[in-house]
Amino acid sequence: MPAPTDGFEIEVETPPKVAAGEAVIVKVHVQPRAPWHMNVDYPAKLRMVATAGIELDAPVLNKGDAERLDDNGLVFPVMLTPNVDHHGHTKMVGEIHFAICGAAECAQQQVPVEFSLEIT
């Protein structure tokens, strides 16, 4: 049984502006809501789709790449570099896989991730 859609929140932390040619880190946060908590044994994964003008250091991040994974949250750092000839707004998409658990059950989640960058 999947967790209710209010069982967690996903937030993407992006810099306000990104300079072309400069490497940056975008952070994808998962925050479970009580009574749910993160399943730290689940093989969490973040898969990002390469976008024209953006170079990803790693298009797939696995559990071991997480900056944080504990009962209270999960954070994946996405390292990327806009090409020097790319300017304007760029949309990035991907999917995050994780599991949250309640008192009696756990629920696997596959959730789309989307964010925009302003490249100067």
Q: Which pLDDT score, from 0 to 100, does residue 1 have?
A: 40
Q: How far apart are CA 86 and CA 94, in angstroms?
A: 20
Q: How far apart are CA 43 and CA 107, in angstroms?
A: 13
pTM for the model stands at 0.91
Number of domains the chain contains: 1
Residue 3 has pLDDT above 70, yes or no: no
Q: How far apart are CA 89 and CA 9, in angstroms?
A: 25
pLDDT in tens, 33-89: 999 999 999 999 999 998 888 999 999 999 999 999 999 999 999 999 998 777 788
What token pair was written down for 2? 């999947």
Instruction: For the chain, state the CA radius of gyration.
Output: 15
Q: Which pLDDT score, from 0 to 100, does residue 87 have?
A: 77
Residue (of 31, 44, 24) closest to 90 by Cα position: 24
- Is residue 112 one of the residues assigned to a domain? yes
Q: How far apart are CA 45 and CA 21, in angstroms?
A: 27
Give residues with Cβ within 8 angstroms of 14, minimum separation 6. 26, 115, 116, 117
- Is residue 57 one of the residues assigned to a domain? no
CATH number at residue 45: 2.60.40.150
**Domain containing 94: what range?**
5-52+65-119
